[in-house]
Structure 1
Amino acid sequence: MALQDKIDQDIKLAMLAKDNARLRGLRAIKAAILLAKTEKGPAETLTQDTETRVLQKLAKQRKESAEIYQQQSRDDLYQIEMEELAVIESYLPKQRSREEIERAVKQIIAESGASSPKDMGKVMGLANQQLAGEADGKTIAEIAKALLAGN
């Protein structure tokens, strides 16, 4: 089942259950998918990779907004962002733990022959390809930077 079909079905269920928090998150996902589709062209269908990137972008936006609201002591808005984030993350692939990301980056560094921070671009390219959808790019970059500086 395509993601858009699953979202449509889940929107109906959330409406019947009167689950407003879930409904907000699902509508945000649907809007982002429709926007991505129109950018590609009316006849185009989104690949699973594109759908994952759209969901990651939404999750990142919610995290950043929640962080700002928390700093400003706006707990009401913070709560809304966190509810939507939980819904969005439920449709993303399972995220790897920091230890799993570290092991994968170490393996990539060994396989690519990277030895210094100058090789960061090569490592990041391979890591982003291998860990696509399973890890945040910021976390991958932090780990890669630390490992390359330590070698």
Structure 2
Amino acid sequence: MIRDTIKAAQVAAMKSGDKPRLAAVRLILAKLKDKDIELRTASAVPEDDVLVTDVLQKMAKQRRESITLYEQGGRQELADVEKAELAVIEEFLPQQMSEDDTKAAIAAIIAETGAAGMKDMGKVVAALKAKHGTQLDMGKASGLVKAALAG
């Protein structure tokens, strides 16, 4: 499980005295704890690896946005801190599908669902997330779905 790998990384970072890495791992664990607390009242709790991947993807997206903003604002030292955190977060994310693989998966789902145009986009995106959600950046994937359905 991804969560166990993250906890092991925390222990390793403590032992090695790698403070920046330890701080990033602790951030991840704190976000996971927040999500666990949030889901205590939920009727359906997703599988743990799906939950962890979702949290990691959101954290990675936030870091990428921050890096862009810091670099535009001329704050390279802050951008470097965010890049270091992003590198740690990405270590725990499952291998992402390539763009070609993503397009092939989208084409297969469009064929399966019989989607014929933009009105079926939600159905295709939902099926894509159900099958490949942990391996995709859904933001990029929905753009590819839109292009596939429009074309």
Q: TM > 0.5 between the two?
A: yes
Paired residue for 2:136? 135
Q: Give the distance between the partners of 1:77 and 1:86, measured in 2 at CA.
A: 14
SS in structure 2 opposite 1:57? helix
Q: Is residue 109–residue 124 contact of structure 2 (8 Å, CA) maintained in 1? A: yes
Paired residue for 1:111? 112
Paired residue for 1:19? 18
Q: List per-residue Cα deviations over 1:20-69 (Å, max 9, x = no partner).
A: 23112101111111112222339x99722212211111111111111211
Q: Give the distance between the partners of 1:111 and 1:40, measured in 2 at CA.
A: 32
| Count of residues in Structure 1 that have an aligned counterpart in Structure 2 | 148
Q: 4+ runs of 1 displaced by more than 4 Å? A: none
TM-score, normalised to structure 2, is: 0.88
Aligned residues with identical type, % of pairs: 39
SS in structure 1 opposite 2:92? coil
Q: Give the distance between the partners of 1:23 and 1:132, measured in 2 at CA.
A: 28
Greater shift after overlay, 19-28 or 85-94?
A: 19-28
Q: Is residue 37–residue 45 contact of structure 1 (8 Å, CA) maintained in 2? A: no
TM-score, normalised to structure 1, is: 0.88
Q: How does 1:59-70 map to 2 (within 5 A)?
A: 59-70=60-71
SS in structure 2 opposite 1:90? helix
Paired residue for 1:72? 73
5+ residue gaps, structure 2, are none
5+ residue gaps, structure 1, are none
SS in structure 2 opposite 1:93? coil
Cα deviation for residue 8 of structure 1 reads 3.1
